[in-house]
Amino acid sequence: MVGAGLVVIGVGLGIGRIGGSAMDAIARQPEAYGKIQTAMLIVAALIEGIGFAALFAV
Amino acid sequence: MRSPFTIKVLFILSLLFSCTLFASAKEEASEGSTKDLKTEIKEYIAHHLLDSHDFSITSYTNDEGKHVYIGVPLPVILWDNGLQVFSSSQFHHGETLAESGGNYYKLYHSKIYRTDANGTISYDEEQHPTNVKPLDFSITKNVVMIMITGLLMFWLFTSLARSYAKNGGVPTGAGRFFEPIVLYIRDDIARPNIGEKHYRKYMPFLLTIFFFIWFLNMFGLTPLGINVTGNIAITFALALLTFLITNFTGTKDYWKHLFDPLGDGMPWYGKIPIYIILVPIELLGLIIKPFSLLIRLYANMQAGHIVLMSLIGLMFLFKSWIGSPLSFFLAFAISLIEILVALLQAYIFTMLSALYFGFASEEHDHGHEHEEEAVLKHL
């Protein structure tokens, strides 16, 4: 149970970082918005998968 | 131009509102019993997430204290010493036994067990029934929804194709909505990930899987309470398709990359110790890729349904005036997010499938230097 909570914290931090970095990247290169968004979504989904795996293991 | 748009928005909003209200009406139905409210809500959610043998819309307790179910029974098809076919209305929602071919069957937590004439179910130490479970090929709620979605997609896209042929490639009606999506999948998912040379081969699968998952996800948000993509067997089948296509269309380079990633640049005696570690990891990756696909879709949809149902359940836990509006607005907000998630999960499934197909159809005939050059050019 505690482990699942820790994993969720980790996943939250991870996705937050991805989102933040994507925002930075978009601010630097607004013309690459589409590509950055795609990459961001994929990576976020990958991390999210781990989070769900942990939640369902409880 | 403004007013039709507003009407559409209002229509969609009212649809959403009705979803939430509908679901809450369902919950109220089971409130009459004496069981603990929390366990009851939990059981209700668990039941909602499962597949079922009938298409129930709602149920309520009438004045005589009897449960009345509104819904459609579905055919039960069992393989148990011969084919047994009967209607699920014989179960009366688990309250009575069904008899077919001299055998008696009982519904227990949405699963069918063979019992004796009295309907006894024996349990082992962990409270799992030990009765015989006949092979179940029933047309369940999920199967019905898959069929409906399949037919809908078939009808939609064949009629679209016909309208394109008739109008000389100009989209009309629903085509105006679907054409950008199809083009997006082609130009932004398939082409960059699979490559200009091979992407056409995979387009039918990518489009089918995208619209199939998207439609099923959207159906999951309707008050009918179907949770097809939140069923691990279905996501397993979808991921298995991706896995099979990836490996059956894999080129020589793909397999070489799997078993001999270092190539000719290294003598064989140097490779052996590395490959003892590397090849098992590569092989494991082969399985992990589709596995992550199936877990992601399943878990996302399942989690979405659980959250939505739990928020509606808040209404009954609070027992004060604040409960209803709170639960209503939270459920409403989550519904909006779920609409996004429905699209996003379909997109990610398609995107990652395309990525894996891209790995499978890669060709290394130029060697790695050229690849690096291309990457540098890209930057």
Q: What is the pLDDT of residues B332-367, one digit of tens each?
A: 998 998 998 899 899 989 988 998 898 888 776 544
Q: Give per-residue pLDDT as tens, B74-130.
A: 777 877 777 777 777 777 666 677 777 667 777 776 677 777 766 677 777 777 777
- Asked if the structure places residue B196 within a domain, the reply is yes
Q: In terms of residue numbers, what domain contains B104?
A: 33-138
Q: Give domain status of residue B16, yes or no.
A: no
Nearest Cα to Cα of residue B61 among B87, B22, B33 = B33
Interface subset of A 15-44, CB within 8 angstroms of B: 34, 38, 41-42
On whether both B194 and B257 belong to a single domain, the answer is yes
pLDDT of B228 above 80: yes
Which B residues in the span 161-220 are in contact with A, Cβ-Cβ below 8 Å?
188
Q: Assess whether pLDDT exceeds 80 at residue B240.
A: yes
Sign of CA dihedral B75, B45, A47, A50: negative
Residues B245 and B304: beta-carbon distance below 8 Å: no
Q: Of the candidates B73, B108, B138, which is a domain's last residue? A: B138
Q: Per the confidence metrics, is the pTM higher than 0.80? A: no
Residues B360 and B217 in one domain: yes
ipTM greater than 0.95: no
B252 shares a domain with B153: yes
Q: Are residues B127 and B184 in the same domain?
A: no
Same structural domain, B198 and B286: yes
**Does residue B9 lie in a domain region?**
no
Instruction: Considering only the beta carbons, identify the residue of A42, A48, A52 that sits closest to B351.
Output: A42
Counting beta carbons within 10 angstroms of the beta carbon of residue B260, is it exposed (0 to 12), middle (13 to 18) or buried (19 or more)?
A: middle
Whole-Å CA distances, B36 to B30, B33, B39, B109:
12, 9, 6, 19
Residue A53: per-residue pLDDT? 73
Q: How many domains does one find in chain B? A: 2
**What percent of chain B stands above pLDDT 70?**
81
Neighboring chain B residues of A56 at a CB cutoff of 8 Å: 295, 299, 302
CB contact under 8 A, B299 and A34: no
Q: Phi and psi dihedrals of B57, rounded to 5?
A: -95, -50
Residue of B nearest to A48 (CA): B296
* Chain A: residue whose CA lies nearest to B298: A52
Residue of A nearest to B350 (CA): A42
Q: What is the pLDDT of residue B373?
A: 52
Task: Tell which of A7, A11, A33, A38 to mutate to test the B interface (max B CBs under 10 Å).
Answer: A38
- Based on the domain organization, do B183 and B202 belong to the same domain? yes
B198, B334: one domain: yes
Closest alpha carbon within chain A to B300: A52
Residue ranges of domains in chain A, CATH in brackets: 2-57 (1.20.20.10)
B305 domain-assigned: yes
| Angstroms from B262 CA to nearest CA on chain A | 27
